[in-house]
Amino acid sequence: MARFFSRLPARLQRRGAIAFIVLALAVAGGLFGLVMLHDAPEDVSYSVFSQQLAAGQVAKVTVGEGGLTVVRATGDRQFVRLPSGLLDAAYLDKLAASGVDVQVGRQEGEFAGVVGAVAPLLLLALIGLTLAFQFDVRGRLAWPPVAKAVPTRFRDVAGQEETKAELAEIVTFLKEPESFARVGARPPRGVLMVGPPGTGKTLIARALAGEAGVAFMAVAGSEFSAAFVGVSKNRVARLFKEARKRAPCILFIDEIDSLGKKRGAGGSAADREYDTTLNQLLVEMDGFQGSDGVIVVGATNRTDVLDPALLRPGRFDRHVHVGLPDVGGREAILRVHAARVKLGPDVDLRTVAKGTPGFSGAELANLVNEAAVHAARVGADAATMEHFEQARTKLLIGLERRSLVLDDDERRLVAVHEAGHALCATLLAAADRVHSATIVPHGGALGMVMRLPEKDRLCVPLDKLRADLVVAMGGRAAEEAVFGKDKVTTGAAADISFASDLAVRMVSEWGMSPRLGMIKIEKGDRDLPLEAQDEVRNIVDDAYRAARAMMDERRVALDRLAEELLRRETLNGDEVRQLVAESAAPADASLRAA
C-alpha cells in the first residue's frame, strides 16, 4: 500500500490520506453503533415483568444499578427499572424461589459498557495510526523529493555567465573529487546564492546538479515549520541523513531565510523551537565533510535577516550573487524563451532587450508569453514587435482599460498632466528618453508617460536624480499653468509620493543634501528628523519650481502636446520630440534669453 501511494503525486497522496481517515472513522462509528444497538436490552414496565414472572417465562435475572436485566426463556433481553429500595434481600429471595437464576454484581450488558468505555480510545488510536500512515507516505516516501537525473544544463541558463563560471569548480569537485584531495584542498560545503526574485537561482541549482550528473534534492525553508515541538528539528536531521545516503548530490534549500533567521528574536515557545531548528541545521552542516559528496546550496534575497553563524566559512563557504541581467543577458534570455514562440520577421530581440531594463529572467519569460498571448488573441500567425510593445506596456503600467469613459473635462485634464511630464522629460538632457505618452487608462492610472533608459545604470548621478524629480513634478506644474492654482487636482498623488521617496533617499542615504552633508540619517520611530524633513521639502520644491518655469517658457509646446494627445490618445517618443522641437516659437526663445 505504501509503495502504491509513493507513486502518486503529493496532492493525490494528501487527498487519499484524508479520504482514508474519513472512511476509517465512518466504518468504526458504524460498527460501534451496530454493537451498541445489538447489545442494548429492551425496556419493559414492571407490570409486564410481573406477568412474565408469574407465567414462568423468565429464565435469568441480573441485578444492576437502576433495575433488573431480564433474560426470557426465548433468549430475549429486557430491562426493568426498579427503585433501589425494592431491590432488597427479601425480593431477591422471592425471585429465586420462583425458579429464576438470580445474579448480582455482573451485568449481562457489560459488553456494551466495555465497548462504550473503550470505543473512544479505539477511535483516537485509529486516528493516530491513520495520521501516522499519512505522514509516513508523505514523509518517508515523498519527502524530501529526489531527482536522480536532472536534464537541465548550464546551457539552459542564459544571462548569468559569471555565476556559472563561479560554480564550475563545484561541478569539477563532484565529478573528480580526487583532484581536490591530491593537493589537500577542501571543497566547499555550502553555496549561498543571493539575488532578487526571478533571477533564476533555482534553475541554476538544478543546472549545477545536471552538469555534475548527481542527484538533486530540493526543499523550501517553509517546509520546516511544524505545530509540534521537535518536529522541525527532526526534519532537518532527516534531510541531511537522506542527503548522505544519496551522495554525491546537491541539497537545495530555497528561501533559506525562512529557516535561518537570526536567533534570539523572542522568548516565546515558538521562538525557542525556531532557534532549536536553526541550531540543528548548523550542527548538521558541521557534521559532514566535503568528502561526503554533499553540497548544500541555499537561495535567498534577504541576507540581512540570516544568522551570522550560518554565513560563516565552513558552512556557506561561497556567496554567489545572482543579479539582474544586463542588456546582453536579457537578449540571451529572450532568445531562450522565444525559441518556443513563432516570431514575426520584424521582431528584433536586441531592441526588446534594450527596452526592458531592470527585468528579471522570470519577467522576460512572462514578456515573451504575453506577446504570444496577444498574437493569439487577435488571430495572428506570429508574435510581432507590436505584440511585444503591448505586452511590455501591460507588464509595466497594467492592462488597457478602454471601458473606462472620461468626460471631456477629465480627458483634457489628463492630457495636460501627461503633456507636462512629456515636456519636462524631453527638455532635460539627463532624463530618460520618452518612449510613449498616452491618455488611455491602464491599470490604476488614467494616463502614462513611459520613459526608457538608453543603457543600464549601476550608479545614478545627481543630475539624473534631479531630472527625475522635475519630470515627476511636471504633471502638477502643467495643471497649475493651464487651469490655475485653485484648479489643481489629486491626479499628482503618485508623482508626489515618488518624488518624496526619492528626495528622502537623497538626503538620508546618498549624502546629497548641501546643508546636511554626506551623512547617513536614521529614521526615528516614524519620521526623519526635522532638519532632514526640511531638506526633503526644499529638494522637492526646487524641482517643482523648475518644472513650473518650463511650463511658462514652453507653453506653446505644452498646448500642442495636450491637443495631440486629445486627438490621437497615444504618441510615441519620436512624435513627442518632434512636436516639442516644432513648438520653439520666437516668444519661447525670448523668454529663454530673458
**Rounded-to-integer distance, Cα 427 and Cα 581, Å:** 10
Residue 471 backbone dihedrals phi, psi, to 5 degrees: -60, -40
* Helix (H), strand (E) counts: the chain: 22, 14
> Do β-strands 215-220 and 146-147 pair in parallel, antiparallel, or remain unpaired?
antiparallel
Our CA dihedral for 354, 359, 363, 364, rounded to 10 degrees, sits at: 30
Query: Could you give the 3-state DSSP secondary structure of residue 56?
Result: coil
- Which residue's entry shows cell 486516528? 127
- Which residue's entry shows cell 541576507? 303
Cβ(16)–Cβ(133) under 8 Å? no
Neighbours of 558 (CB within 10 A): 26
Within 8 A by CB and 6+ apart from 385, the residues are: 344, 346, 347, 348, 351, 352
Conformational region of residue 213, where left means phi above 0, alpha means psi within -120 to 50, and beta covers everything else: left
Cβ(195)–Cβ(135) under 8 Å? no
- Which residue's entry shows cell 517546509? 223
Q: How far is CA 357 from the centre of its chain?
A: 24
Q: How far is CA 489 from the centre of its chain?
A: 37
196 in a labelled binding site: yes
Neighbours of 69 (CB within 10 A): 20
Nearest partner of 215 among 189, 247, 187, judged by Cα: 247
Q: What are the residue numbers of the active site?
A: 418
Nearest partner of 388 among 368, 412, 406, 403, judged by Cα: 368
CA distances from 474 to 84, 377, 449, 557 (A): 98, 37, 11, 13
Nearest partner of 540 among 497, 511, 485, judged by Cα: 497
**Rounded-to-integer distance, Cα 291 and Cα 178, Å:** 9
Query: Which H/E stretch holds residue 317?
Result: none
490 in a labelled binding site: no
64 in a labelled binding site: no
344 in a labelled binding site: no
Cβ(349)–Cβ(341) under 8 Å? no
435 in a labelled binding site: no
Q: Which three cell numbers stand for residue 578?
A: 518632434
The helix, strand and coil proportions of the chain, stated in percent and rounded to the nearest 5, come to: 55, 15, 30
199 in a labelled binding site: yes
Cβ(230)–Cβ(277) under 8 Å? no
Helix axes of 110-135 and 10-39: crossing angle, nearest 10 degrees? 180
**Rounded-to-integer distance, Cα 223 and Cα 235, Å:** 9
DSSP secondary structure letter of residue 141: I
The arrangement of strands across the sheet holding 294-300 comes to 146-147, 215-220, 249-254, 294-300, 190-194, 318-321
CA distances from 246 to 243, 294, 410, 417, 550 (A): 5, 9, 66, 63, 69
**Rounded-to-integer distance, Cα 570 and Cα 439, Å:** 7
387 in a labelled binding site: no
- Which residue's entry shows cell 492654482? 485
| Known binding positions for ATP | 195-202
| Known binding positions for Zn(2+) | 417, 421, 495
| Known binding positions | 195-202, 417, 421, 495
